[in-house]
Structure 1
Amino acid sequence: MDRRVFMRASVLAAGTAAFSGSLVKGALAAPAQNATSPYGALLAADANGIQLPSGFTSQVVARTGQVVSGTSYSWHQAPDGGACFADGTGWIYTSNSEVSAGGASMIKFDASGNVTAASRILSGTSTNCAGGKTPWNTWLSCEEISLGRVWETYPFGGTAVARPAMGRFKHEAAAADPVRQVIYLTEDETNGRFYRFVPTTWGNLSAGTLQVLVAGTATSGSFTWTTVPDPDGSPTTTRTQVSGSKSFNGGEGCWYANDTVWFTTKGDNRVWQLNLLTNTYELAYDDGLVTGTATLTGVDNITGSSYGDLYVAEDGGNMEINMITPDDKISVFLRITGQSSSEITGPAFNPAGNRLYFSSQRGTSGSSSGGITYCVTGPFRT
């Protein structure tokens, strides 16, 4: 679906009582197909081992076990999901640590992108994989373990707190929807589910209702939401409590924009798209439906730009970040060389949209002690 067309449809729908579905239907397209990148071909790998289009440059921001430049803080192991937060004239990048007792950290930047501070924002939790930011500037760090919890952390200062009302399961990513005032959640199980949490009060995640998506077995159709009777997930797992809830093969990244939520499933290399105005779903990408050789495999973390481009990171594959444009074209944006035993994690744009942060979770060593966090700067479409 063309995201720019859909944005216009969303505005029209908000101001028209009798909204015709024909406009949305007309914007539908097949799952994304291979195309030439709007940024051009990749150049040879730079000094950091990253292949980028012309006009883009990379830098290393932090390395596991080493002090972040300009601070006294040592960067954590296995950097994973991340997000950026506006901070006055600068910004903050948060990052999870996907190891036992991993937690999460943050790095603060000034207006020129120079590091000014770094610190721990969550400790004592386990296998913090992905997560998501909230409109009230907190970072939801998700535990990817059985009966895992969502932890609300405070990059600007404050003590992290568990949010058990959001369900206990093998959490992966979260995405906030300020229009419907809910948080979407993915589950990293081969028969995982897609959830939404409806807070009793928007902005307060201490209480609310956990719901699960109910739909047929097809790759497109309509959906509804049903309340999960026992969000605690014990003795009956949350994913098996509601008859008719739709199974997804390894839920990973999640991104919300313009009345649409996208999420990825690694078990079948798909990007799913939910139209929240019509309560319908479809495939935005499926490697099995690509004409020719699929460029995107190992589908994992996902983020979006202000232009409407989606950026999808690979866990394995060719160690690439691929981009899906609003007209459903997919191409390679960057490739990390010499790190085939790693995965790309935590893609997130700074507020201006001209810097993309991400990590190689295991770097050149293939170990959680070899993580590297990068920044790519250049003429991104905004």
Structure 2
Amino acid sequence: MERRSLLRAAAVGVGTAAFSGSLWRQAAAYPALPGPGPYGDLQPADSNGIMLPSGFTSRVIARSTQTVPGTSHTWHRAPDGGACFADGSGWIYVSNAEIGGGGGGVSAVKFDSGAAVIGAYGILSGTDRNCAGGSTPWNTWLSCEEVSTGHVYETDPWGVQAAVRRDAMGRFNHEAAAADPVRKVIYLTEDASDGCFYRFVPTTWGDLSSGTLQVLKEVSGVLSWANVPDPDGKPTPTRDQVSGAKLFNGGEGCHYRSDICYFTTKGDNRVWAYHAADNTLAVVYDDNVTGAPLTGVDNITAATVGDLYVAEDGGNMEIVIITPDDIVAPFLRITGQSSSEITGPAFNPAGNRLYFSSQRGTTGSSSGGITYEVTGPFRTSL
């Protein structure tokens, strides 16, 4: 059997034997294979060094260690995970700072209805390597510390309420978070070569101060969730506490949409789909296919039409699109920044502007980070 068929067989063979509904229609074609993207070929790099499809344009929103234009706020170093929040007719983009030694945190940029920057400010400081995270249905940003004893901090994108450390969500090498409002849980990834996939079940939905941390298990091909006995992770790390816990090679970004939590693993360059309703798992993308354009998988988001956008950590500095009909193709490429990584992709509420950062920019250092906006004819229907 050729590699493509083997991978597709594996995709539908993990967890339960069959899928149902829309996931089955998608999973029957997994993993995604290279093909023409919905926006056509990339054009020569623009003045910002970004190659985009025809009709799309880019602009620089902020640069690390420099004042955000039109504000008095200095943008943080090493921008990482991010998300957008509706703010009246405008919106807010939040961005983590992946700086260690207490230099981490989160900053925000506020836009009016015309996408003009009207403010910038900090919403969390004094934390450690805030890598990715995730938004909640009650409009807070969960900022995750990527250290072995890392916490999750719940922050206010408007900067009015003080950030709160959510100890019940466990201490481990946190990467990203994604809220599932149907099952009322928060999925969590772990950036370790033998990391796990978790979910946090709050005692009360909308209140993350207490609840139960669970880890995904796989025994004889059957998936289940088990309580983590000691979420504090001391002296035994959370990933080592439950027998049969399913291990993932370097968990990175995750994004929930329509009963599916998509997440990435950098150690094997895969994009996964956990189908919550059926408790099944599939490989959406595996780079071990001919002509695979996506390597160094990292942060992930989705457009309203269902297209996944996956940012590369290294690779050739691309954001790659995976369509619902399982085609994978480059959407943009940043040139002249090979010592950086792309982080924090997020759409504004209208879905016509995409924000992201080059964490180390042209300098290759944390002080060289650049945060961008891309606008253009993003499709609204398939």
> TM-score, structure 1 length as denominator?
0.92
Is 1:187 matched up with 2:190?
yes
Deviation of residue 168 (structure 1)? 0.2
CA shift digits 1:255-310 (9 cap, x unpaired): 0000001100001100011111111101000001x2x2210000000000000000
Number of residue-to-residue matches in the alignment: 359
Given the alignment, which residue of 202, 205, 211 partners 2:205?
Answer: 202
Inter-partner Cα distance in structure 1 for 2:130 and 2:248: 21
Retained in 2: the 8 A contact 1:362–1:368? yes
Inter-partner Cα distance in structure 1 for 2:37 and 2:249: 29
Inter-partner Cα distance in structure 2 for 1:366 and 1:54: 29
Residue aligning to 1:4: none
| SS of corresponding position for 1:45 | coil
CA shift digits 1:121-162 (9 cap, x unpaired): 001001000000001110000000011000000012210010
Q: Which amino acid is the alignment partner of residue 179 of structure 1? A: V
Deviation of residue 30 (structure 1)? 2.4
- 1:246-257 matched pairs, under 5 angstroms: 246-257=246-257
- 1:251-266 matched pairs, under 5 angstroms: 251-266=251-266
Inter-partner Cα distance in structure 2 for 1:86 and 1:259: 22
Is 1:229 matched up with 2:239?
no
CA shift digits 1:325-376 (9 cap, x unpaired): 0011100000000000000000000000000000000000000000000000
Q: Which amino acid is the alignment partner of residue 244 of structure 1? A: G
1:24/1:40 Cα in 2 relative to 1: closer, same or farther (>3 Å)? Answer: closer
Deviation of residue 102 (structure 1)? 1.2
> TM-score, structure 2 length as denominator?
0.92
CA shift digits 1:228-280 (9 cap, x unpaired): 00000000000000000100000000000000011000011000111111111
- 1:283-362 matched pairs, under 5 angstroms: 283-288=283-288, 290=289, 292-362=290-360
Inter-partner Cα distance in structure 2 for 1:271 and 1:61: 29
Inter-partner Cα distance in structure 2 for 1:308 and 1:201: 30
Instruction: Name segments (4+ residues, structure 1) moved above 2 Å.
Output: 20-28
| SS of corresponding position for 2:126 | coil
Is 1:131 matched up with 2:129?
no
Inter-partner Cα distance in structure 2 for 1:36 and 1:52: 14
Retained in 1: the 8 A contact 2:263–2:273? yes
| SS of corresponding position for 1:308 | coil
Deviation of residue 26 (structure 1)? 4.9
Q: What 5-or-longer segments of structure 1 have no aligned partner?
A: 1-19
| SS of corresponding position for 1:123 | strand
Inter-partner Cα distance in structure 2 for 1:272 and 1:297: 14
Retained in 2: the 8 A contact 1:222–1:281? no
Deviation of residue 25 (structure 1)? 3.8
Cα RMSD of the aligned pairs, angstroms, is 1.4
Q: Percent identity?
A: 68
Retained in 1: the 8 A contact 2:33–2:328? yes
| SS of corresponding position for 1:239 | helix
Is 1:170 matched up with 2:170?
no
Residue aligning to 1:155: 157
Residue aligning to 2:72: 72
| SS of corresponding position for 1:369 | helix
CA shift digits 1:75-109 (9 cap, x unpaired): 00000000000000000000000002210100000
1:370/1:22 Cα in 2 relative to 1: closer, same or farther (>3 Å)? Answer: closer
Deviation of residue 32 (structure 1)? 0.4
| SS of corresponding position for 2:340 | coil
Is 1:113 matched up with 2:92?
no
CA shift digits 1:197-226 (9 cap, x unpaired): 000000000000000001158xxx541100
Inter-partner Cα distance in structure 1 for 2:23 and 2:303: 22
Retained in 1: the 8 A contact 2:23–2:275? no
Deviation of residue 34 (structure 1)? 0.1
